[in-house]
Amino acid sequence: MKNPIACASFLALMASTLLAAEPVVESNTWTQVYPVSSATPHLVVSNIWGNVRVRAGSAGEISVTIDEKRSAPTQKLFDRSLVLMDLVTDADSDGVSLLVGGEHQNWNFHNNCRGCRVDYQFEVLVPPGTQVDVGTVTDGRIDVADIAGTISASNVNGPVYVSGLTDCNDLESVNGAVDISFSMAPGQDCSISTINGDITVNMPDGTGLDIALDLYNGRLVTEFQVDAYDIPAQVEQSSNDGRLSYKIQQSAGLRLEGGGPTFSISSLNGDIRFQKN
């Protein structure tokens, strides 16, 4: 016959073990308004998990609403995640930077905080004309609209959507589509790229561009008049033990509607489309 005291002790131990193993989860939502006085303020958001959504708001301020969900397997790891995956904010009259994990993103949590995660959902309102540079890594999307400033946006495992665009610097995804729409013909050079996804560029009728195109496993589909033009090959020189080596890259040159700013556009596995608004 089993010892009832031993059974009770065993059950109590199992219960305490299961209770200790339960994950720690905490959610918070808050809004912060930052005054800015620059005519062209900047917004920088560097996220790890979650969405970044940016829209036009009121002049003179950047309003940030954050929905945070933090989780870890234990309380000890949860406390560690507060240090390794903190949100670092830097704000002044010229703009706001919101960096998850700090300026260089503290990736030590992969080794020092296994099972830890913090999802940040950013909803940001900025003055028209703000220079925007936003990115996320996984389980999120970049969504920017009607800012009328120069936009840079990046994603690793998800799409990038930018509409009402006037100018861009760099728009990229690794595993996701890049879908952008210009409200007017762009006036400066831009780089657009993805590895696994389609690139769709919507522009007003008559927009002129010079395009350095790298397209591997996909199609080029365009509603604009396209002509070929020559692009010089890019030659990169490197040295190893006194021996010189060279890397040569040759992009296809396309000229839309008589030409204009130079766009470098590349996709490894996906189509590239130029469509009229």
CA dist 155 and 137 (Å) reads 5
Specify if 122 maps to a domain: yes
CA 126 to chain centre: 17
> Which 3 state secondary structure label does DSSP give 174?
coil
Looking at every residue in the chain, the average pLDDT score rounds to: 89
Under a CB-based contact definition with an 8 Å cutoff, are residues 103 and 15 in contact? no
Which pLDDT score is estimated for 38?
96
Give yes or no for residue 23 having a pLDDT over 60: yes
Q: Give tens-digit pLDDT for 32-70.
A: 999 999 999 999 999 999 999 999 999 999 999 999 999
Specify if 38 maps to a domain: yes
Specify if 141 maps to a domain: yes
| 221 — pLDDT class (breaks 50, 70, 90) | very high
Specify if 134 maps to a domain: yes
Specify if 11 maps to a domain: no
Q: Give tens-digit pLDDT for 163-217.
A: 999 999 999 999 999 999 999 999 999 999 999 999 999 999 999 999 999 999 9
Measured in residues, the chain has a length of: 277
Report CA-CA distances (Å) from 182 to 79, 161, 276. 44, 11, 10
DSSP 110-143: HHHSTT-EEEEEEEEEE-TT-EEEEEEEES--EE
Under a CB-based contact definition with an 8 Å cutoff, are residues 177 and 155 in contact? no
Specify if 74 maps to a domain: yes
Specify if 131 maps to a domain: yes
Question: What residue numbers bound the domain in which 103 lies?
Answer: 28-158
- Count Cα atoms within 13 angstroms, Cβ side, for 179: 11
CA dist 71 and 173 (Å) reads 26
Under a CB-based contact definition with an 8 Å cutoff, are residues 163 and 72 in contact? no
- Tokens of residue 19, six digits: 């209770």
Specify if 266 maps to a domain: no
Task: Give the count of domains, the chain.
Answer: 1
Q: What is the pTM of this model?
A: 0.85
In terms of DSSP H, where are the helices of the chain?
4-21, 75-84, 109-112
Give yes or no for residue 232 having a pLDDT over 90: no
